[in-house]
Amino acid sequence: MTYRIKTLNAISPSGLSRLPSDTYEVGNAVEEPHALLLRSASLHGAPIPDSVLAVARAGAGTNNIPIADYSARGIPVFNTPGANANAVKELVLAGALMGARNLFAAALFVRDLAAGEGAMDEAEMDQVVEANKKAYAGWELPGRTLGVVGLGAIGVQVANAGLALGMKVVGYDPQITVRHAWQLSASVDRAESIDDVFRAADVLTLHLPLIEATKGLVNTQRLAMMQPGSVLLNFARGGIVDTAAVVASLDAGHLRNYICDFPAPELNRHPKVLALPHLGASTAEAEDNCAAMAADELRDFLERGEISNSVNFPNARLPRSEGTTRVVIANSNVPNIVGRVTTMVAESGLNIADMLNASRGDIAVTLVDLDNGVPADLVDRIRGLDGVLSARVV
């Protein structure tokens, strides 16, 4: 079988090379695709082709994808957590240094000085620089407190790097995974609440998805909790921060600097704001890593029905016995669907060699490995079961 994958953005060739050309047709002109592979393209309002079995985003955030619509069709949506973690971590560390030492404002001062009317000789420029440099004096990171809100793949790397720079680090994430907890240094203090992080931080960095619960999470009240002269970093999502509240805190002299990856009209030309053009994952290495992970996820699902790093489906991994045929079923997480499937299999005179059922919220996935093939009408009957969202043979 040839699998067709439609790309909606430019995807790293090194990542796409993980999809064998003899079994995969990949490109932006592919028709009736089995999967969609994208980065920033928006799928909101776009029709879902009947042929689509999976969607993968070469990146962590999935707010450009209508997850609920794809879930209702039994389509897993994959992302690539951690693939761009080092790239974002490096930008966060750069932001912390820029904010603590006022480097951006200082650089603008020198640039504007050199561009002013009337030529200055070196002695005159030295005199003006010496007279004004105190306005850009900063502080050093060692001994200061780094607050990290969100301890996923990126947040953990940032927290550990902060320790390496000699900072005290306090983190908060009530949903930290076991894997990330193992990766997090034991020297990171665990805050009891998100507000505790705001109160403690000299530098506060955000590593959260943009969901309804995190919109405007950084607001007037929380900014007031921060240490006077502290630095706020946002390389997560723009909507997590109330921009008007940040500008007010900067203007009042409470917040020292705001460094972010999300330009906005209110921030443009503010002397205490450095807004970058969404550069967090914009390195060749991160793009390669994200594309490779996304390609591997699609290949695992299309060829074996296995799922990892899906934002709407459970993880599902089942080693496959030689000579078996696998049926991949996605269904609403309601009672007795597995029982009805196994009854149908028995009525067809087939033997189940192995089976896995996994659930996540309202969605469940069942992988059924059968000896001696699968009659075509069996999959059709499974699809007809109330609550089954999709079913196919791999």
Q: Annotated active-site positions, please?
A: 237, 266, 278
The amino acid at residue 184 is L
Classify 229 in phi/psi space as left (phi over 0), alpha (psi -120 to 50) or beta: left
Rounded CA separation 183/139 (Å): 29
Under 8 Å between Cβ of 391 and 383: yes
Q: Quickly count: other Cβ atoms within 10 Å of residue 273's Cβ.
A: 23
Which tokens is 169 given? 């680090």
Q: In the chain, what is the greatest distance between 2 CA atoms, to the nearest angstrom? A: 94
Structure tokens at 233: 């970093």
Alpha-carbon torsion (279, 282, 286, 292), positive or negative: positive
- 200 half-sphere exposure, CB direction, 13 A CA radius: 23
DSSP per-residue string spanning 217-285: -B-HHHHHHSPTTEEEEE-S-GGGB-HHHHHHHHHTTSEEEEEES---TTTTT-TTEEE-SS-TT-SHH
